[in-house]
Structure 1
Amino acid sequence: MKKVFDRLNLNKAKIWYILLLLLAPLVSLLAIESIHRGSFTAALKWIQESSAAFVISYLFFLLFISTVLFIPKKLFIPFIILQLAFFSIVAFGSYQKFKLRGDYLTPTDLGLVKEGAAFANVLNGFLSVKMAMMAIIILAFIFGIVYYLMKITEPLKWKIRLILSVFAIAGTAAILLNPTVFSIRASAVGNVEEYQKLGLVGGFLNLKEESKVVHPTEYSKREINKIVESLPETEGVDEDFKPNVIVVLAEAFWDPLLLKNLSFEEDPIPYFRSLTKEHSSGELLTHIFGGGTINTELEIMTGMSTRFLPEGKESYNAQVNRPIDALPHVFRNQGYNTTAVHTFKNWFYDRNLTYKWLGYEKFVSMEFFSNPKMIGPYIDDRELMEQTVEELKKTEGPDFINTVTVSSHGPYDDIRYDPLPSCKNTPQLTKVPQYVLDLYCQVLKETDDSIRVLIEGVKELDEPTMVVIYGDHLPMLGYDYAVYREADYFKSIHAYEDYLKLQTTPLLVWDNYSEGKKEDLRMTPNFLGSYILSHAKRDKSPMFAMAEKVYEEGTHVIPKKPFYADEKIDENKLKEYQLLQYDTLFGEQYSYKKNPVKPHDDYFLGSEKMKITKLKMTEKDNLKVTGKHFVSNAKVFVNGEQQTTIFNDEKTLIASVPEKFKGKELEVIVKVLDDKENSIAESNGKKMMME
């Protein structure tokens, strides 16, 4: 062996360098898979059960690391550590998501980085001093390894490294462009199985490949026109009857009394439950757990199903990038005012853009709530309901309002209440899960009372009104389903019975005009929009007419594909529905040619547009700005510069003006800025001389 090394001109330091090149991918792969699977033992088991995927994964890391083999050693060795750190962070994030929500990282999750960052300050329960200390120790260990490797290794000749890098770049590209190589000897279906059988890299690349939208062979203008023409005309439309319609997304709203192994002294949602006894109510089988609110919301608003989207592409807002004939547009075409009200950031889930495409006239986000009462980090939902009622009061004609709550958002291990009332359940759970359940019960009580505020406010108006209330998904009650597991709520996330338990939320349709007709409801969100239009006696667009047709033919829920047989789903009956959805989201929108869909020309953010009517300098050389519709977040800008602003009320703002502006003409405008310092609303401009 020594003679072989001598002929190849390999000394001990170069041999160490080659060993580093061969072992670094193996160590990286084992570390990353151990993190992603929760243990080193699970990683070893994967190697035994999916040996082909393991070999391809090792080859990927070997090639990926070798792509920069041509760079100097002082950069190459740190690169090895950096790639390990990067993939480890991705693996950790994906594993955390799996433990919290039951599925791993998807390609569309990468587009939700800003949403994750927005909740980062809330997710403090998963961080600890121990974890911080562990991170410091790991970093110190890594620096030690880098220093040691720098001392004992000597790189190969540069020409050899360059040739190897070229081959490595070509090999890496080949794998990235052909991710199916990971599944040569292992077939996998669905997010969880993809990752568990193919590994982190193989699972992600396969999901990315599967998330590509495939052009249906039967898609054509003629076929879409045929489908639209075959749809039945809407029955029961009453042009003389236009009730207000309020759709309330109740964040993580669920019934804890379904935890049958626990007994509760108090009902956390007594008001809501009392309404279900007198009005149409039932179950909404959502497609998400613990998060992904926008998916349920947009299914209801559009009549389309995320089940028709490719695996890994279910982040619905990412697909809405052009006008859609959604509920707001349908109602607006029939003489309604259309408003969205939400007590969180305007840009979250791109709602500020998405709502425009859906046909809303305006969007009242959290930035337009003046000095609201807070519950922990969130605006009290009662403020939201009061604003919803105000929106009803200020308009002429009927209203369609989409109200999206947030104060019941998880996780539920923070300090929102001090002291925190007990949920009064027996038996008690272990310390942390019990705290989570106690906090969730308390936020449910707040949500329940906010529903009372809305219903009582609507009753006082004495206008025909329908209020639809639904839970967007089950709450994320602790790490790794902690509360659900301790309460023995489900056995396996793969069984259909337990799938239903983890995806089904409450649904209520309250109104003051249907004369006591009560229905027991069960449906997936994509069918609720057409039900709302029927109940309001309104005409339907092709998509909602299609949803109604499928519903009337007996398909009330569209679950995950593996569970189609459990619901006796005939896929052939869904083909036209799927094709119409493809036309709307990805195709030429042939179904809109006769009735073009356009956003509202004057769509804006805020409840009302701010207006300056008068400017005046006070005795203290402050600028008094008089007008209307100002909010507490409003800022006065003078000659393009933001000034310190005091909010007196919706008619008056006081701004400090620097002496440098004396003797100059002032151009004043009022703006509302969000937390990204973007201007999301502006008043008219007004000028005056500062003497």
Structure 2
Amino acid sequence: MSEGMSRNFLARLWRWCAIVVMVAATSAAIVLALEATTAKSYGWSTRKYLLRLGPDTLLLSTALVAVVVLGLFGLTGRLRWAVPLAAMVGVLVATVNHFKIRFRGEPLYPSDFAYVGEAELLISSVGVWTSVGALGALLLVGVLAWGGVMLLGRLLRIPPAAGTDVPRWVWALRAGTVLVAAALCLLVAGFNSAGNPVKQAYERAGAGWVAWSQNENYRLNGFLGGFLFNMPSAPMPMPQGYTREVVLEVAGRYADEARAINEHRDPHALADTNIVIILGESFMDPLRLEGLELGEDPIPFTRALMDETMSGTMRSVAFGGGTANVEFEVMTGMASGLFSHTLPPYQGLVSSADHFPSLIDRFNDAWTTIGIHPFVADFYRRGDAYRAFGFDESRFIDQMRTQTKLAEAGYVSDAAAYTDLLEDLRTHEDPVLAKVVTMQNHAGYAGLYPDPIPVLEPASARDSWGLSDYLRGLSHADAALADLLAGLEALDEETVVLFYGDHAPPGVIPDDLWDAQPGTTARYETPWFVWSTQGVHASRHQGLLSPNQLWNQVLRATDAPLSGWDALVLELEGHPPTTALPADLERDLTLLQYDLALGNGWATDFVLAVPEP
């Protein structure tokens, strides 16, 4: 080998060694940045968090990211493009994860990428200038990474890549890295499949999966491990013992229970009665929080009404978000926790069904069923979900007759949504079942109102950006609710209303105030009540109810009969949402829910219809 050839070989070897080192360093930096920002966002000790993960998990995560970076290098053929692209993606994911933890109290999931098309909503949630700043920082990271690669190349005297005359083995190597990266992506997509090698590698590195709490899951297994654990999987596994005979036996038992209860109920209780179900966006009672002092009570009407009718406290399925999961439970009586922790049921289950069982089935014959939501139809894929539920009419922002906002930067007001509702009740001759999902108090509160409600104590709440505006929005929601009920009484039609808040507002009540509350459920608690133009016996439910137990309160308040499914859900009320169900009750719930949602539907007629006497 001549001296020239030897020098050329060493130059190429030095270049490829430098590429490997720089890819490894970039991958390690991305993993450490993701993990460190996750820890900081939660307020965890970064050092303790990284030590808990251990070198095996961190090295495995780094290796996975390195394969992706090499795939980018294979695609672009230039490290000066691959590294900045990888760095920008890493920073983008870390930033979105930070904001989601800050506003929702939960980490980024793969299913969150379904909201990429909802740019307007996402920007309004974090603020325009914050979004602009994040975009600027992202571009800056890309420029710095590009400059860093170029500078290191000069300092280390890395020879430039070949021009147009690229050897075949280089093309083969680049193609190989792309194929390996693509194969890894396919493996990662099936992370929750049986025998998945990537999941097994994490388990060998010490991963211990936590299905019930994704905050805990990410804390124990790191951002990347927790993120991969939430990759899409089957909505619900087939329960053991799922056969026609077993399902019909279970369904028959609960139909018999319903029949026995219905002997003391009025079979015509809801005849010719309008039924209105209202989800109040981010509606809660802030004065339930110990230590919070305000300049005025934001919900005086609701507070007084709850002492005069049937009411109580709901334990939401999520904090600061997850509206569609709460809505799904109320509409179906199903427990969303039994489904996969990936996509919400509306997106992952209901929207693709020709028909999905819900309480609408019970009222399709004599009632006109209407869904009202003053926002876009594709958010949570509600438009498709309402079709599958069988609503006669669905009205979203484009079809709203009234689109008044209380603030230019806000959403359609509750009062506007209720105006549309009252118009529907006036114009339909048949009784109406209407489901209203309000939008006024969705996140993005700061600076909305000229007269925010003062926060007096504690100091952390007083300094919270947006809390005072949220409280004023809450007071507007309370006033709109008062006007709605007055309007319903003026209609001179029998009407029953179920109202509930879906979750606490995200990002405005400081963590130290939540942490100071007794018990562990304060941040998940919202009010509910049942009201009727005919009057409801005043009773305050003492325990916490899950969203799927609220429909039964309407039946109880109106003395209406139960279906077999209602009888099963009634049994759940005897067990607080924070405790495990008895094994036999959990088995019954799992079998029937699977049969209704994903199985053969053997029990549909037995459990959804009110049984004959």
Whole-Å Cα distance in 2 between the matches of residues 363 and 87 of structure 1? 40
SS at match of 2:312: strand
Instruction: Select the residue among 403, 407, 428 that pairs with 1:372.
Output: 403
TM superposition shift of 1:34: 2.8
TM superposition shift of 1:196: 2.4
Whole-Å Cα distance in 2 between the matches of residues 192 and 109 of structure 1? 15
1:238 and 2:267 matched: yes
Whole-Å Cα distance in 1 between the matches of residues 335 and 584 of structure 2? 16
1:453 and 2:483 matched: yes
The normalised TM-score by structure 1 is 0.75
* Mean Cα deviation higher: 143-152 or 180-189: 143-152
Alpha-carbon distance change, 90 to 102 in structure 1, aligned in 2, over 3 angstroms: same
TM superposition shift of 1:43: 5.4
Q: Answer whether contact 1:17 1:154 (CA < 8 A) is retained.
A: no
Q: Answer whether contact 1:295 1:317 (CA < 8 A) is retained.
A: no
TM superposition shift of 1:331: 1.9
1:443 and 2:473 matched: yes
Q: Which position in structure 2 is the counterpart of 1:590? A: 602
1:485 and 2:517 matched: no
AA aligned to 1:489 is: W
Q: Which position in structure 1 is the counterpart of 2:582? A: 570
Q: Which position in structure 1 is the counterpart of 2:30? A: 28
Q: Which position in structure 1 is the counterpart of 2:293? A: 263
1:324 and 2:356 matched: yes
Q: Which position in structure 2 is the counterpart of 1:661? A: none
SS at match of 1:31: helix
Whole-Å Cα distance in 2 between the matches of residues 72 and 97 of structure 1? 32
Q: Answer whether contact 2:397 2:403 (CA < 8 A) is retained.
A: no
Whole-Å Cα distance in 1 between the matches of residues 44 and 438 of structure 2? 42
Whole-Å Cα distance in 1 between the matches of residues 522 and 338 of structure 2? 22
Q: Answer whether contact 1:248 1:405 (CA < 8 A) is retained.
A: yes
Q: Which position in structure 2 is the counterpart of 1:667? A: none
1:516 and 2:537 matched: yes
String of CA shifts for 1:217-258, please: whole Å, max 9, x gaps.
322222222222121234124237522211111110111112
TM superposition shift of 1:70: 4.8
Whole-Å Cα distance in 2 between the matches of residues 349 and 170 of structure 1? 30
Question: RCO (CA 8 Å, sep 6+): is it higher in 1 or 2?
Answer: 2
Instruction: Select the residue among 176, 179, 189 that pairs with 2:198.
Output: 179
Q: Answer whether contact 2:295 2:456 (CA < 8 A) is retained.
A: yes
Taking the TM superposition and a 5 Å limit, the aligned residue runs for 1:18-417 are: 18-38=20-40, 45-50=48-53, 51-67=55-71, 70=74, 73-74=77-78, 76-115=79-118, 117-124=120-127, 127=130, 131=134, 134-148=137-151, 152-153=158-159, 159=169, 162=172, 165=177, 177-180=196-199, 181-184=201-204, 185-189=206-210, 190-208=213-231, 213-231=236-254, 232-234=257-259, 235=262, 236-239=265-268, 241-242=270-271, 243-320=273-350, 321-322=352-353, 323-333=355-365, 335-370=366-401, 372-376=403-407, 377-413=410-446, 415-417=447-449
1:425 and 2:435 matched: no
TM superposition shift of 1:127: 0.3
AA aligned to 1:230 is: R
Structure 2: runs of 5 or more not aligned: none
TM superposition shift of 1:580: 1.3
SS at match of 1:271: helix
TM superposition shift of 1:543: 3.1
Alpha-carbon distance change, 289 to 249 in structure 1, aligned in 2, over 3 angstroms: same
Q: Answer whether contact 1:268 1:441 (CA < 8 A) is retained.
A: yes
Q: Which position in structure 2 is the counterpart of 1:671? A: none
Q: Answer whether contact 2:251 2:607 (CA < 8 A) is retained.
A: no
Q: Which position in structure 1 is the counterpart of 2:577? A: 558
Alpha-carbon distance change, 279 to 172 in structure 1, aligned in 2, over 3 angstroms: closer
* Mean Cα deviation higher: 446-455 or 350-359: 350-359
Q: Answer whether contact 1:328 1:360 (CA < 8 A) is retained.
A: yes
TM superposition shift of 1:174: 5.6
* Mean Cα deviation higher: 202-211 or 576-585: 202-211
Alpha-carbon distance change, 257 to 244 in structure 1, aligned in 2, over 3 angstroms: same
1:505 and 2:526 matched: yes
* Mean Cα deviation higher: 113-122 or 504-513: 113-122
Name the % identity. 22
Q: Answer whether contact 2:530 2:557 (CA < 8 A) is retained.
A: no
AA aligned to 1:372 is: Q
TM superposition shift of 1:179: 3.2
Q: Answer whether contact 1:338 1:360 (CA < 8 A) is retained.
A: yes
SS at match of 2:520: helix
The structure with the largest alpha-carbon Rg is 1
SS at match of 1:245: strand
SS at match of 1:508: strand
Alpha-carbon distance change, 312 to 370 in structure 1, aligned in 2, over 3 angstroms: closer
The normalised TM-score by structure 2 is 0.84
Whole-Å Cα distance in 2 between the matches of residues 43 and 158 of structure 1? 46
TM superposition shift of 1:422: 3.3
SS at match of 1:114: coil
SS at match of 1:458: helix
Q: Which position in structure 2 is the counterpart of 1:637? A: none
Whole-Å Cα distance in 1 between the matches of residues 168 and 49 of structure 2? 37
Whole-Å Cα distance in 2 between the matches of residues 302 and 248 of structure 1? 15
Whole-Å Cα distance in 2 between the matches of residues 56 and 248 of structure 1? 47
TM superposition shift of 1:167: 6.2
AA aligned to 2:308 is: E
1:530 and 2:552 matched: yes
Whole-Å Cα distance in 1 between the matches of residues 269 and 67 of structure 2? 70
Q: Which position in structure 2 is the counterpart of 1:649? A: none
Whole-Å Cα distance in 1 between the matches of residues 404 and 538 of structure 2? 37
TM superposition shift of 1:90: 1.8
Aligned-residue RMSD, C-alpha: 3.3
Structure 1: runs of 5 or more not aligned: 598-691
Taking the TM superposition and a 5 Å limit, the aligned residue runs for 1:619-630 are: none
TM superposition shift of 1:63: 2.6
Q: Answer whether contact 1:101 1:476 (CA < 8 A) is retained.
A: yes
Whole-Å Cα distance in 1 between the matches of residues 267 and 442 of structure 2? 39
Q: Count how many residue pairs are aligned between Structure 1 and Structure 2.
A: 570
Q: Answer whether contact 1:57 1:201 (CA < 8 A) is retained.
A: yes
AA aligned to 2:101 is: F
Whole-Å Cα distance in 1 between the matches of residues 451 and 597 of structure 2? 46
Alpha-carbon distance change, 332 to 549 in structure 1, aligned in 2, over 3 angstroms: farther
